[in-house]
A and B are shown apart, each in its own frame.
Chain A
Amino acid sequence: MNIQAKQTPIHRFFKVLYTYSLGLLLQGFKWLLKRFEILITKMFRGYGLFLRSTAFWTKDKTKTEHSVKDDLRLGWFARARLKFVENYNRRVEKYLSWTEKDTETFLVNNAIYFVIIAFILYVIISKPNFLSMAVFMNILTQSSVRLILAFGVGGIIILQGTDLSLGRSVGFAAIISASMLQAMDYAARFYPNLQELPLIVPLLIAMAVSAFFSAINGFVVSVFKIHPFLATLGASVALYGILSMYFASGAPGPQPIGGFDSRYTEFVVGKLNIFGFELPKLIIYAILITLLMWTIWNKTAFGKNMYAVGGNPEAAKVSGVNLVKTTILVYVLAGLLYGLGGFLEAARIGSASNGTGINYELDAIAACVVGGISFSGGIGKISGAVTGVLMFTIISYGMIFLNMDVFWQYIIKGVIIVAAVALDTRKYIVKR
């Protein structure tokens, strides 16, 4: 076997030169990195000392684990207090014994957050008015719909799946809601003879339609064992056809649906006056949905089954969990959220067309991944989805705030997605 090519003297000379200069550079870089690591490690140990010195208010200075019996005996407040003290002590212990190896894993696992924090700092320094209540509220409002959508696709990602039809599903729900909630005196109404409907009716119809198409996705994925990527890719294309057909069937023909009923606009983009403070209603909806989803994911049998099926389908199966039923339910729940999202999105934008919602799935999936909902399945938290969505919105908003070129915005977003996935995969890789 002779795989290596023959080397000429010149070739060899350059190789040596290259190797040495590169080696020197690498050594210097390594030395710097090492200093940096030692510095960070010392900072962590110092933080540990600081924590220990401030822990005068806890009686049990070393207690780190309470018994299961305590868990059963105590009320929720006492338990929370106990947990807090223990976490505190555990942190003291952890930081006091912090090593350089820990620093390394810490830096690698959280690299994406450092980049984002650095970016935020950059925005704040170059445009200090970024730190204002108005901007803060804007970011939260913009996050609201995205968050609701991210919860939907997040459940599917926990099942080791993905949903590329999210955007179209949202678009369909938006068109349905928009078409049924135009002002009575608007000239080009979708349904010219439609009576004034209660808001809940179009909402329920939109949610039912999205849930129906999502249920088909779940059925196809679980019964025919088609990879969710392909199943939902197909669904997304087909859905576009269906929703465009609906879009074109209105009285004024295929044109953007606008002129919404003021009740609808008020319900979505209105503000609630709390003691003089104007809180956008969208934020309230997002908070309510977050609480509801947290309960579903963590406190119901369905939620626990979802994690089990995502983490180890075989184990779930031999424990008597119905895989098909669980999968379809997760997709249906996602569909319901897309429906709600579409309903809110139409009013937020002020109009809807057959292009509404395009590429929303990418933002939602990216936010989930950045928030630690792993594609390897069975891992992910509500808090992760919230963090991911906020991070992503802050970045998008920050870039617009800086008047950054829109093409650069795409490039940066894309890099963040890939980097997040790469770092996420690193955590769960099986070593051989």
Chain B
Amino acid sequence: MSEYLLSIKNLTKSFSGIKVLNQVEFHLRRGSIHALMGENGAGKSTLMKCLFGIYKEDEGEFYLEGIPFNFNDPKHALENGISMVHQELNQVLQRSVADNIWLGRYPKKGFIVDEKQMLKKTLDLFQSLDIAIDPRKFMSQLSVSQRQMVEIAKAVSYDAKVIVLDEPTSSLTENEVNKLFKIMRTLQAKGVGIIYISHKMEEILEITDEVTILRDGQLIGTDFTKNLNMNKIIRMMVGRTLNQRFPDIPPCSGDTKFEVRHLSTEYSPKLFDVSFTLRKGEILGIGGLVGARRTELVEAIFGARTRSSGEFILDGKPITIKHPMQAIQRGLALITEERRVTGIYPLSNIRFNTTIAHIQSYRNKLGLLKELEMIRDTQDQINKMRVKTPSQAELIRSLSGGNQQKVIIGRWLLTNPDILLMDEPTRGIDVGAKYEIYQLMIQLVESGKSIIMVSSEMPELLGVTHRIAVMSNGRLAGIVNTQETTQEEIFTLSARYL
């Protein structure tokens, strides 16, 4: 018997050349609850997906009770005593609760599934875990928290040696969280090892025995929870030094340009009563954890989501925005998060990609396009944005991520917007190009435009914004002045409504 129940050594994994995990080590003791912590994109979920056989690691070794293993698919992992509650709820909504729990291992009588036994086993399982859900109900009839409890029950039902819980409490009520903790303690007493991923600091301090912290795919450290406190953990999670990666930003003293009052949305994921103001020449950052609904916020402002209440005030006058077309007419522009999916037209050239949002204005009297003007404007934008490309006939797909982003910013600047909504404008872009995009943003605010920037990167929020609005679970947790705030304060705010 080895000392550890589960060991992961030297795990490295990269996606398209970017290292997401770098030489990570992780050891889980028998009968221990082990927290895995880190900021957005630190590599927690990737680590667990490598363990579970969903991703294939580049290099690394896994040991279960001292015996090396390597799973190629989830089925293999489940059969060998590792089960997992996934961060995204992976359920078949069109099927019943019992069907979902025993999916992939239905009890059978000959060829026929033994429904009675399945129902009975589900009932026994729910009774032992103190869950009151009718197993015959369809998954789509349950609330999100009930679905999450079903998912937890399913993970437990495998009688696994190692159970991974990836943010299991994100939508549970307090009562249900207590139930979960009771379940976890029972399992712990049986010698099961539990890996617990969560952002909720109180939970970590209450339930876990050990904490491992990742940052940017690196292992920062592992320690017993009793030796740690909230501040220590946060410092380990965020603890990078801010060096000169950001240009200086000019002070902002403009009047209020745009105001959002009591914005709520109709369909989930919902926003609840978000209000803020944006000044002329200001960069307002929007921070928060994954799932805080930052993207939903900018989409709601842009008219891409149905509002249930709320009003917008532009230059002191109330305006209606019910459709992105209206938003564009009022002088808004949205640079979307998923550049490859909703940003670029990958198989078209730079000229097409630059002029497409403004194509109406190039029509001549016959309704044909004025090619010369398009060429001129595209060249203007290429020069202004400093896009590195041999010509404007080049396919946008062949450019680097940073240059693609510059083309898209150029596209929206052609429509001459007053307010730019930028959703993760520097995602997947190398450091040099990031700096250029920051400079661009500063030029824009100096010329009197305002920017709302959603970002998952704490240093970026602190580096290039005037103020930061922190979202938490669909609500606005607070707005802080960038000059006066700290990473710790933002982190605390982002966990406020969890």
Tell whether A pairs with B. Answer: yes
Q: How long is the Cα–Cα vector from A319 to B104 in the complex, in angstroms?
A: 6
A273-315: CB near B (< 8 Å → 1, else 0) gives 0000000000000000000000100011100110110011011
Chain A residue contacts of B75, Cβ below 8 A: 320-322
Chain B, residue nearest A1 (CB): B329
Q: Once the chains bind, are A304 and B106 in contact (CB under 8 Å)? A: yes
Question: Does A71 sit within 8 A of B, measured CB to CB?
Answer: yes
> Shortest CB–CB separation between residue B220 and chain A, in angstroms?
28
Question: Does A133 sit within 8 A of B, measured CB to CB?
Answer: no
Q: Once the chains bind, are A319 and B103 in contact (CB under 8 Å)? A: yes
Chain A residue contacts of B331, Cβ below 8 A: 1
Chain B residue contacts of A2, Cβ below 8 A: 361
Q: Once the chains bind, are B113 and A432 in contact (CB under 8 Å)? A: no
Q: Once the chains bind, are A318 and B84 in contact (CB under 8 Å)? A: yes
Contact partner, A316, options B92, B108, B112, B113, Cβ 8 Å: B92
> Shortest CB–CB separation between residue B74 and chain A, in angstroms?
5
Q: Once the chains bind, are B113 and A320 in contact (CB under 8 Å)? A: no
> Shortest CB–CB separation between residue A8 and chain B, in angstroms?
16
Q: Once the chains bind, are B112 and A300 in contact (CB under 8 Å)? A: yes
Q: Once the chains bind, are A301 and B92 in contact (CB under 8 Å)? A: no
Question: Does A406 sit within 8 A of B, measured CB to CB?
Answer: no
Q: Once the chains bind, are B95 and A432 in contact (CB under 8 Å)? A: no
> Shortest CB–CB separation between residue B178 and chain A, in angstroms?
24
Q: Once the chains bind, are A320 and B79 in contact (CB under 8 Å)? A: yes
Contact partner, A311, options B95, B111, B134, Cβ 8 Å: B95
Chain A residue contacts of B234, Cβ below 8 A: none
Chain B residue contacts of A295, Cβ below 8 A: 112
> Shortest CB–CB separation between residue B328 and chain A, in angstroms?
8
Chain A residue contacts of B361, Cβ below 8 A: 1-3
Q: Once the chains bind, are B136 and A378 in contact (CB under 8 Å)? A: no
Question: Does B105 sit within 8 A of A, measured CB to CB?
Answer: yes
Those of A294-352 within 8 Å (CB) of chain B: 295, 299-301, 304-305, 307-308, 311-312, 314-322
Contact partner, A299, options B104, B112, B299, Cβ 8 Å: B112
Given contacts A312-B92, A432-B304, contact A72 B78 (CB under 8 A): no
Chain B, residue nearest A301 (CB): B106
Contact partner, B104, options A65, A307, A320, A430, Cβ 8 Å: A320
Question: Does A68 sit within 8 A of B, measured CB to CB?
Answer: yes
Kindly specify which of B116-124, B236-244, B336-344, B368-376 makes contact with the partner chain: B116-124
Q: Once the chains bind, are A1 and B415 in contact (CB under 8 Å)? A: yes
Q: Once the chains bind, are A301 and B415 in contact (CB under 8 Å)? A: no
Question: Does A431 sit within 8 A of B, measured CB to CB?
Answer: yes
Given contacts A1-B416, A304-B95, A431-B266, contact A315 B103 (CB under 8 A): yes
Question: Does B94 sit within 8 A of A, measured CB to CB?
Answer: yes
Question: Does A12 sit within 8 A of B, measured CB to CB?
Answer: no
Question: Does B93 sit within 8 A of A, measured CB to CB?
Answer: yes
> What are 24 A-B pairs with beta-carbon distances under 8 A?
A1-B416, A3-B329, A68-B123, A68-B135, A71-B136, A72-B123, A299-B112, A301-B106, A304-B103, A305-B104, A307-B94, A308-B92, A308-B103, A311-B95, A312-B92, A315-B103, A316-B103, A317-B73, A318-B84, A318-B90, A319-B103, A319-B104, A320-B78, A378-B92
| Residues of B participating in the A interface, judged by any CB pair closer than 8 Å | 52, 54, 73-75, 78-79, 84, 86, 90-95, 99-100, 103-106, 108, 111-113, 115-116, 119-120, 123, 134-136, 154, 266-267, 299, 304-306, 328-329, 331, 360-361, 415-416
A-B contacts besides A319-B104, A320-B79, 19 pairs, CB < 8 Å: A2-B361, A68-B136, A299-B115, A304-B103, A304-B106, A308-B92, A312-B91, A312-B92, A314-B90, A315-B92, A316-B103, A318-B90, A319-B78, A319-B103, A320-B78, A378-B95, A379-B94, A430-B267, A432-B306
Q: List 5 A-B pairs, minimum CB-CB distance, nearest first.
A: A320-B75, A320-B104, A315-B90, A311-B92, A319-B104
